[in-house]
């Protein structure tokens, strides 16, 4: 006892400076530096990824909101209620109102049906309005001004300075509309646009009882205020909120990109956390003898925790500073490929990335390091003279896992995509671990050479350890595969949304006697076009003799398609851009139904449907169900009839075609030759949508590359730690006389088998996870990825080769003494 008390001051010095130096030396010489590196990488990756996510999401939101000209839009078929405007003012929101209606515009030489937008001077509150007058460009509409879409100058035979009658008002043409922030995607409800000021609306006298008018209120302000406004309003029939996520294909793209950004971030955090846990477990295993020695010299647990706390505090501070610096640099490097497509100046990222990265690192480090260190502090002192591999572990240490779990509950909330992913990964890890053990057991039954037999024996010696190792290696490969493959599926879906050769002009209201001439003109000009479709508007009135118009309230609750007129067509052949899902095309008195509306209305093959067109009823039987991609800007319809049902009804024709940048004069020529045909020019809209998609495609590719890099780091950490753990065993083999060649062959065989098993199972798991995500999370069609089944096992094998080649020579060095 005297000797013990004399040595205690050496272990527990009172000099804090000496303790600090000791802790610093232990930090870098005691194998704690790999933990510092792992923690630094977590902070750097999360900082870079969250910073880029913040910037890209702000850009996507700004782009989406510029498409609706405000942060939030309220649309109604009735004048906006004063109470709503008062509530918006009380929330300190900026407000602008707009009235839209269709009317005739008259010049001295022609007339044309136009879509009039009555706007205030503050319009637009997002995006850019470009108006060109003889005196230059302006960006707002002033009282007394009249701005026309470019086509109207030819159709109405006017120029700037001429007088144009809009209803009862006579206004002087100020110039042409070069660019509008608001763009619509419905080719069946488009007329050439006219902009007037709100002060001139009453003078037109165009709005009368029964007129079809749309009213809009635009709001700008903080997201919390906008949300409060939405929650305070109960929508009536014909009312709707419009936001950046509700605008057709752009809203769909933005929402899917957001989901992918969040998913990639959480997968990177999972892989980085696994790297930290592994390195910390390795550190704890290497310091057992040191802790046991200090205990044998009289060190208490309290003193050991003080000793470790100093190291961990220094470690975390170093990792936070270094990680934030590396993260900032990495975020800059990640943005380099996006320089040409990102707007300038870039949105500020604020302090969110730094706070998120440090908080995530802390939440991961507390259980990841805490559980291993609690076990290390409990190491028995007898380990100094008799190495111990197992000793009782306090179960309360596992309560540390509650911290990241509670944080995840608060962070994810009701995000079903995240919970689906995490639950699926947990189940898959267990299944893959069991599958890996089963594969190894099957391989053991075969006849192999001595090295391979020894390798299989080594793998199967401890099923629990083998299962854990295979599950860890498989899950890391699987996660990086999920990130990359999901990115590829999203980009593929976006390419289908708006392919490079998508139509960008629609010709509407083509009279039957004009159809042949119009199509022949397009063909003579070598314009790529779709088939021509007859179009007639009508309503669905009965399903199996059930009157859908009798109960107005029920009709409003069931589906929007039952509350308005729909566009019908008929064809001999199914459109090439539709996919037949069930039934047969053709027949007599038949109708093919789009699968989405069929699901919403509960329609099945053989159902009898009644329709009404111009007060004329007719019936048809559902003969087939079709899948329609509504976002491809091609003519698409809910209902396509057999010719015998509707061919006798009067209809106009529709055709879509593509005009390239150097073919703009074709639009003007067609407008002059066929003045009664309505042209919807979507070239500006298509260019903007493709620009947004290009931005997000590049961003997602960069983010996916970062996620894959994190996965590769995890895999290499797994393999290196596994090889280090083999060091003592290899020494034993050498002592017993095993040759370097035999040991080398055994190691190559063992890790080669594990690499191929893990690669194959990772491909299987990734296929399952991606299929679940695209079906229930992103709502995309499920497809197989054959290339992944080849690439992932080869990648796994390549990583094993690199790690073994770098470490095997060191492990086979001659044994000294």
pLDDT given at position 568: 92
Strand, helix or coil at 164? strand
CB atoms within 10 A of CB 393: 12
List, for residues 142-190, the tens digit of each pLDDT value: 999 999 988 788 878 899 999 999 888 889 999 998 888 875 544 444 5
pLDDT given at position 174: 93
Q: Which two tokens stand for residue 106?
A: 């008259």
The residue among 387, 413, 439 that closes a domain is: 413
> Would the pLDDT of 305 be above 60?
yes
Does residue 227 sit in the same domain as residue 340?
Answer: no
Does residue 83 sit in the same domain as residue 230?
Answer: yes
Does residue 232 sit in the same domain as residue 271?
Answer: no
Does residue 89 sit in the same domain as residue 204?
Answer: yes
Q: Is 284 a domain residue? A: yes
> Would the pLDDT of 762 be above 60?
yes
pLDDT given at position 7: 39
Containing structural domain, residue 317: 1-66+251-413
pLDDT given at position 622: 94
**Whether 119 contacts 198, CB under 8 Å:** yes
**Whether 602 contacts 561, CB under 8 Å:** no
Does residue 274 sit in the same domain as residue 300?
Answer: yes
Whole-prediction pTM: 0.59
- Name, in order, each residue with C-beta under 8 angstroms of 746's C-beta and a sequence gap of 6 or more: 451, 454, 455, 458
pLDDT given at position 711: 62
Decide which of 655 and 707 is more confident: 655
> Is residue 764 very low, low, confident or very high in pLDDT (cuts 50, 70, 90)?
confident
Does residue 152 sit in the same domain as residue 277?
Answer: no
> Would the pLDDT of 557 be above 60?
no
Strand, helix or coil at 162? coil
**Whether 141 contacts 123, CB under 8 Å:** yes
> Is residue 2 very low, low, confident or very high in pLDDT (cuts 50, 70, 90)?
very low
- Region 717-740 average pLDDT: 68
> Would the pLDDT of 414 be above 60?
yes
Does residue 208 sit in the same domain as residue 117?
Answer: yes
Between the alpha carbon of residue 309 and those of residues 14, 282, 373, the distances in Å are 16, 18, 10
Q: Is 58 a domain residue? A: yes
The residue among 212, 243, 274 that closes a domain is: 243
List, for residues 677-691, the tens digit of each pLDDT value: 777 777 766 666 666
Angle in degrees, CA 730, 719, 388, rounded to 5: 55
β-pair type (590-594, 616-628): parallel
Q: Is 351 a domain residue? A: yes
The residue among 413, 448, 465 that closes a domain is: 413
Strand, helix or coil at 652? strand
Percent of the chain with pLDDT over 70: 73
Does residue 373 sit in the same domain as residue 460?
Answer: no
Does residue 370 sit in the same domain as residue 443?
Answer: no
> Is residue 19 very low, low, confident or very high in pLDDT (cuts 50, 70, 90)?
low
> Would the pLDDT of 781 be above 50?
yes
Does residue 100 sit in the same domain as residue 164?
Answer: yes
Does residue 618 sit in the same domain as residue 488?
Answer: no
**Whether 688 contacts 181, CB under 8 Å:** no
pLDDT given at position 6: 38
Going by the DSSP 8-state scheme, the letter that residue 816 receives in this structure is P
- Region 784-812 average pLDDT: 78
Q: Is 816 a domain residue? A: yes
Mean pLDDT of the chain: 77
List, for residues 253-289, the tens digit of each pLDDT value: 656 666 776 777 777 777 777 777 777 777 777 777 7
pLDDT given at position 8: 42
Count the domains in the chain.
4
> Is residue 555 very low, low, confident or very high in pLDDT (cuts 50, 70, 90)?
very low
Between the alpha carbon of residue 289 and those of residues 6, 296, 304, 378, 386, the distances in Å are 21, 10, 13, 12, 10
Q: Is 555 a domain residue? A: yes
């Amino acid at each position: 006892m005297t000797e013990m008390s004399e040595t205690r001051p050496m272990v527990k010095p009172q000099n804090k400076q000496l303790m600090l130096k000791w802790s610093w030396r232990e930090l870098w010489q005691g194998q704690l530096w790999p933990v510092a590196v792992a923690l630094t990488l977590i902070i750097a990756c999360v900082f870079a990824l969250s910073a880029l996510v913040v910037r890209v999401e702000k850009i996507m939101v700004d782009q989406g909101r510029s498409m609706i000209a405000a942060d939030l839009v309220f649309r109604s078929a009735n004048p906006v209620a004063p109470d709503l405007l008062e509530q918006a003012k009380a929330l300190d929101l900026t407000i602008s109102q707009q009235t839209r209606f269709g009317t005739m515009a008259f010049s001295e030489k022609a007339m044309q049906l136009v879509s009039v937008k009555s706007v205030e001077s503050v319009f637009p509150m997002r995006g850019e309005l470009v108006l060109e007058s003889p005196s230059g460009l302006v960006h707002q509409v002033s009282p007394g001004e009249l701005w026309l879409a470019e086509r109207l100058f030819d159709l109405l035979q006017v120029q700037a300075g001429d007088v144009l009658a809009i209803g009862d008002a006579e206004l002087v043409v100020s110039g042409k509309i070069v660019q509008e922030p608001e763009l619509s995607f419905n080719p069946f409800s488009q007329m050439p646009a006219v902009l007037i000021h709100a002060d001139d609306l009453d003078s037109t006298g165009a709005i009368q009882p029964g007129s079809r008018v749309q009213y809009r209120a635009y709001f700008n302000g903080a997201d919390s205020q906008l949300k409060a406004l939405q929650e305070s309003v109960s929508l009536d029939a014909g009312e709707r909120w419009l936001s950046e996520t509700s605008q057709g294909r752009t809203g769909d793209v933005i929402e899917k990109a957001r989901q992918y950004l969040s998913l990639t971030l959480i997968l990177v955090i999972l892989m980085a956390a696994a790297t930290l846990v592994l390195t910390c477990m390795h550190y704890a295993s290497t310091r057992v003898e040191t802790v046991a020695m200090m205990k044998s010299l009289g060190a208490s647990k309290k003193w050991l925790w003080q000793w470790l706390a100093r190291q961990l505090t220094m470690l975390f501070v170093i990792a936070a500073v270094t990680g934030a610096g590396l993260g900032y640099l990495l975020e800059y490097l990640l943005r380099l490929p996006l320089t040409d497509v990102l707007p300038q100046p870039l949105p500020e990222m604020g302090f969110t990335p730094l706070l998120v990265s440090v908080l995530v690192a802390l939440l991961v480090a507390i259980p990841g390091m805490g559980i291993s260190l609690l076990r290390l502090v409990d190491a028995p002192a007898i380990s100094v003279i008799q190495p111990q591999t197992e000793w009782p572990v306090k179960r309360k240490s596992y309560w540390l896992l509650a911290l990241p779990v509670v944080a995840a509950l608060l962070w994810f909330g009701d995000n079903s995509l995240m919970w689906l992913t995490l639950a699926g990964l947990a189940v898959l890890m267990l299944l893959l671990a069991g599958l890996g053990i089963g594969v190894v057991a099957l391989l053991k039954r075969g006849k192999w050479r001595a090295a391979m037999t020894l390798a299989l024996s080594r793998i199967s010696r401890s099923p629990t350890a083998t299962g854990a190792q295979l599950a860890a290696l498989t899950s890391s490969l699987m996660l990086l595969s999920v990130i990359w493959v999901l990115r590829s599926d999203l980009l593929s879906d976006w390419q289908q949304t708006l392919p490079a050769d998508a139509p960008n002009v629609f010709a509407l209201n083509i009279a039957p006697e004009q159809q042949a001439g119009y199509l022949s003109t397009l063909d003579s000009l070598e314009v790529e076009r779709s088939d021509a479709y007859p179009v007639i508007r009508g309503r669905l009135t009965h399903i199996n003799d059930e009157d859908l118009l009798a109960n107005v309230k029920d009709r409003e609750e069931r589906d929007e398609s039952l509350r308005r007129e729909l566009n019908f067509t008929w064809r001999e052949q199914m459109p090439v851009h539709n996919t037949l899902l069930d039934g047969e095309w053709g027949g007599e008195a038949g109708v093919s139904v789009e699968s989405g509306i069929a699901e919403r209305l509960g329609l099945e093959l053989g159902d009898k449907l009644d329709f009404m067109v111009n007060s004329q009823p007719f019936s048809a039987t559902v003969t087939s169900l079709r899948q329609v991609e509504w976002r491809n800007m091609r003519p698409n319809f809910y209902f396509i009839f057999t010719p015998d049902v509707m061919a006798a009804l009067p209809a106009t024709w529709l055709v879509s075609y593509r005009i390239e940048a150097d073919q703009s004069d074709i639009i003007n020529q067609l407008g002059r030759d066929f003045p009664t045909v309505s042209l919807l020019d979507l070239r500006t809209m298509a260019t903007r949508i493709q620009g947004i998609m290009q931005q997000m495609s590049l961003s997602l590719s960069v983010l996916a590359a970062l996620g894959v890099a994190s996965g590769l780091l995890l895999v290499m950490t797994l393999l290196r730690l596994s090889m280090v753990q083999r060091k003592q065993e290899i020494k034993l083999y050498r002592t017993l006389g095993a040759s370097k060649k035999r040991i080398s062959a055994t190691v190559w065989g063992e890790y080669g088998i594990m690499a191929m098993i893990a690669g194959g199972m990772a491909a299987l798991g990734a296929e399952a996870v991606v299929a679940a995500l695209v079906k229930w999370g992103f709502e995309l069609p499920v497809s197989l990825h054959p290339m992944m089944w080849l690439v992932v096992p080869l990648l796994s094998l390549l990583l094993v080769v690199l790690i073994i080649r770098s470490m095997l020579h060191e492990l086979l060095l001659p044994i000294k003494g």
